Amino acid sequence: MSPHALRGMAGGIALCAGVIWVTYALSPEATAEPVTIVEQEELEISEMMTALQDAGYYVSAEAPPEEPVVEDPQTEEMDPPTEEDSAAEEEALIDEDLPESVTVETVNVYSMTLSITSGTSSHDVANQLEQAKIIDSASDFLRYLERNNLAEKVRAGDFEVNSAMSYQDIANRIT
């Protein structure tokens, strides 16, 4: 690089730095007055849940994780809890302290290992995903792949997918 080109580049960098500094120094944020913070009233959990539901959000009331229980090795052993005990405890936790307007939904998440061999078409992949209840519609998933130019980019391999994943997540995993 010639000395003239090097000087020209250094001058350009200096000019850009100056323009950026002037822009920052004269920006409204640099000269703005301090912002005052207004304290808000604290809401009860039921009020927060109702407000979020009114705003169109899905609210889930899950119990916080329990602390691990350290048992004394000298105490006599207890019978392990049965499935009925666990179901009753879970139901009691869900129903406890919920406002009337809160509904509890159970969502099943299906998962699978998707095996794609070389030469498998994206149509076949979409059908496998639909049969495994990972996606609702094979044709919608195919349209997504085609719209994003991914239908021909499906690669061979084994991929972990589940029904909680979006079309984009699944496509990112298999392409």
What pLDDT digit, counting tens, does each position of 2-33 carry? 888 889 999 999 999 999 888 877 776 655 55
- 24, part of any domain: no
- 163, part of any domain: yes
- DSSP letter (8 states) at residue 161: E
- 112, part of any domain: yes
Q: pLDDT tens-digit profile of 149-175? A: 998 999 999 999 998 899 999 999 998
Tally the residues of the chain: 175
Q: How high is the pLDDT of residue 54?
A: 81
- DSSP letter (8 states) at residue 20: H
Tell me, what CATH number does 142's domain have? 3.30.1490.480
- 58, part of any domain: no
Q: How high is the pLDDT of residue 44?
A: 77
Q: What is the 3-state secondary structure (H, E, C) of 69-120?
A: CCCCCCCCCCCCCCHHHHHHHHHHHHHCCCCCCCCCCCCCCCEEEEEECCCC
Within 13 Å and on the Cβ side, how many CA atoms surround 100? 0
Q: How high is the pLDDT of residue 71?
A: 57
- Quote the CA–CA distance of 147 and 129 in Å, as a whole number: 19
- 46, part of any domain: no
Per-chain mean pLDDT for the chain: 78
Mean pLDDT calculated for residue range 104-115: 82
Range of the domain at 145: 108-174
Q: How high is the pLDDT of residue 4?
A: 87
If DSSP codes are grouped into helix, strand and coil, which group holds residue 130? helix
Asked if residue 46 has pLDDT above 70, the reply is yes
Q: pLDDT tens-digit profile of 54-89? A: 888 777 666 655 666 555 555 445 555 565 666 666
- 148, part of any domain: yes
Reported pTM: 0.42
Number of domains comprising the chain = 1
Long-range contacts of 62-66, Cβ-Cβ distance < 8 Å, separation of 24 or more: 63/93
- 137, part of any domain: yes
Residue 40 — pLDDT band, cuts 50, 70, 90? low
- Quote the CA–CA distance of 94 and 96 in Å, as a whole number: 6
- 81, part of any domain: no
